[in-house]
Amino acid sequence: MKYLPLMHNFERKTCLIVGGGKVALRRAKSVLAAGGIVDVIAPTCLPELFDLVHQYKSGQYKNGQYQAEDIDPRYALVIAATNDRQINQAIAQQCKAKNILVNVVDDSSLCDVTFPAIVDRNPILVAISSGSASPQFSKLLRERINTFIPNGYGKLAELFGRYRKRVKSSIPKTKDRAVFWNKVVHSYIAESALSGNLEQAEAQLKGAIDNHEKLEQCGEVYLIGAGPGDPDLLTLRALRLLQQSEVIVYDRLVAPEILNRLEQGKDLIYVGKQRANHSVAQPQINELLIRYASQGRRVARLKGGDPFIFGRGGEEIENLAAHNIPFQVIPGITAANGCASYAGIPLTHRDHAQSVRFVTGQLQNGAVNLNWAELTAADQTLVFYMGLQGLPIICENLIKHGAATNTPAALIEKGTTLQQKVHISTLEELAALLESIEIHAPTLTIVGSVVNLHASLHWFNKSVSS
């Protein structure tokens, strides 16, 4: 270990920064964020730095060159941030002679202390150092860690902090306390806090402390939208909850890559449904979720797209609520959004469409029953979620109810995946197109003049026919 990592309580301590440029400003912000006071010495100073120094506490700005006597023992830290190497060296020497901690920008050999890259989820703080070998590497790591630490961790830690004493008096043995906190951190209590419901989390935590002997892992269900196909469209929360799930009940439209990315050891249960071939009926799915959650397991119910858009998500959670099983819903990117973006077809556009409708058009006894008059109103985009069967009937009816025969229509197959294809046609010609080419499910159809924008805005489509 090249450095000794310590967290410095800098509250009301004073730091001298020599230099008035961008780096000085960055350092000043860090010191002030930690409750410190900043003095600055520089012949010129960025206005933002000048304001910061005076705005917070009683910092001072000395307009001029640095002098050896400026290094005063009242400083807990001195930062040499000039662009003159000799001055920086002289500052470092003075500090060493006076036993004051010094940080020299861009010269680690002169530093007593360095500024790590940080991930701040106050009060949680992650500091990353590359031992001066590669600041770029620290930045890269910070990006990665930032992505995976939910924003709510700070609030959660703060809540736990407030109850530490109470837990200590209720559970005197250190070992029992460790077991307790470990259970809490993996429980619905933590999930309540992370999903922003702090009041509920606090009430649950109080309940858990009062009944700590009985605090067992309580089963819960996460109804998660997996997005339309590209596995990278999964949200960060979805990924985190999938990682901590023990059972995953998933649909046909869920990208296999998402499941492949998860650690082994989870129970993966396929309940995919295909048209006219319901492999697992909805009541059975409901029953599965209740059964696993009642065993105290964390169950992810993973669905293609968004669970609340043509996904029967509402019915599944009604059922969970009726059985008092805790659940949360994690939205996903719905097929319409995913396909539209990847096909370069904005769903609304000031010159084309002021509203958008998501429509499901399933065939029932050879007919599609929709409110055609509404669907043919002007200045809107229609997105049809469905298989291909009813599509010719839909085009026919739209025309019959007043839509122009040449209204543009885009049929998108396997949207957002590497196999995505976009077929551009019109209401009049779409049926013939379907006859002439081989098409693979799932498909989605976008109707409206926004489709014309595809020609100039697409960047991802594999093939275009018209």
Residue among 305, 390, 408, 448 that touches ligand SAH (CB under 6 A):
305
What mask, x for binding ligand SAH by CB under 6 A, covers residues 115 to 144?
------------------------------
Is 183 among the residues known to form the active site? no
Told to check if 228 binds ligand SAH by CB under 6 A, we report yes
Which residue type, as a one-letter code, is found at position 400?
A: K
The DSSP annotation for 377-442 comes to -SSEEEEEES-STTHHHHHHHHHHTT--TT-EEEEEESTTSTT-EEEEEETTTHHHHHHHS---SS
The one catalytic residue in 155, 251, 306, 414 is 251
DSSP 17: E
Is residue 303 within 8 A of residue 353, CB to CB? The reply is no
Stretch that binds ligand SAH, among 30-38, 132-140, 145-153, 306-314 (CB under 6 A): 306-314
Residue among 79, 443, 446, 461 that touches ligand SAH (CB under 6 A):
443
Total residues belonging to the chain: 466
Interface with ligand SAH: number of residues (CB under 6 A): 23
Q: Which is nearer to ligand SAH, 312 or 401 (CB)?
A: 312
Is residue 334 within 8 A of residue 325, CB to CB? The reply is no
Q: Which is nearer to ligand SAH, 442 or 448 (CB)?
A: 442
Q: Which is nearer to ligand SAH, 214 or 440 (CB)?
A: 440
Supply 208's token pair: 């858990």
Supply 120's token pair: 């701040």
Pairing of strands 421-426, 408-413: antiparallel
The residues pairing with 301 across neighbouring beta strands, listed in sequence order, are 223, 249
How far apart are the C-alpha atoms of 100 and 80, rounded to whole Å? 12
Q: Quote the least distance from Cβ 453 to ligand SAH, whole Å.
A: 19
**How many CA atoms, within 13 angstroms, populate the side-chain half-sphere of residue 266?**
24
For ligand SAH, the binding residues in 378-417 under the rule CB under 6 A are 385-387, 412, 414-416
Supply 24's token pair: 């000085």
Q: Quote the least distance from Cβ 414 to ligand SAH, whole Å.
A: 5
Q: Quote the least distance from Cβ 336 to ligand SAH, whole Å.
A: 7
Supply 183's token pair: 């259970």
Is residue 339 within 8 A of residue 444, CB to CB? The reply is yes
Residue among 229, 361, 390, 448 that touches ligand SAH (CB under 6 A):
229
Q: Which is nearer to ligand SAH, 346 or 387 (CB)?
A: 387
The one catalytic residue in 29, 96, 266, 273 is 273
Q: Quote the least distance from Cβ 303 to ligand SAH, whole Å.
A: 6
Told to check if 444 binds ligand SAH by CB under 6 A, we report yes
Q: Which is nearer to ligand SAH, 152 or 344 (CB)?
A: 344
Q: Quote the least distance from Cβ 255 to ligand SAH, whole Å.
A: 9
Q: Which is nearer to ligand SAH, 326 or 387 (CB)?
A: 387
For ligand SAH, the binding residues in 307-326 under the rule CB under 6 A are 309-311
Stretch that binds ligand SAH, among 103-111, 194-202, 298-306, 323-331 (CB under 6 A): 298-306
Told to check if 250 binds ligand SAH by CB under 6 A, we report no
Q: Quote the least distance from Cβ 462 to ligand SAH, whole Å.
A: 13
User: What kind and span of H or E run contains 268?
Assistant: strand 267-270
Q: Which is nearer to ligand SAH, 226 or 247 (CB)?
A: 226
Long-range contacts of 282-285 (CB under 8 A, 24+ apart): 282/312, 282/315, 285/249, 285/316
Give the three-state DSSP class for 285. Answer: helix
Q: Quote the least distance from Cβ 443 to ligand SAH, whole Å.
A: 5
56: how many CB neighbours lie within 10 A of its CB?
Answer: 16
First to last CA, the chain: 64
Q: Find the DSSP H helices in 67-185.
A: 85-98, 135-148, 153-170, 174-185
Is 251 among the residues known to form the active site? yes
Supply 22's token pair: 């961008």
Q: Which is nearer to ligand SAH, 20 or 311 (CB)?
A: 311
User: What kind and span of H or E run contains 208?
Assistant: helix 198-210
Stretch that binds ligand SAH, among 7-15, 76-84, 424-432, 440-448 (CB under 6 A): 440-448
Is residue 201 within 8 A of residue 189, CB to CB? The reply is yes
What mask, x for binding ligand SAH by CB under 6 A, covers residues 325 to 344?
---------xx---x-----
- Chain position whose Cβ is nearest to ligand SAH: 305
- Residue ranges in contact with ligand SAH by CB under 6 A: 228-229, 253, 303-306, 309-311, 334-335, 339, 385-387, 412, 414-416, 442-444
Which residues are identified as catalytic? 251, 273
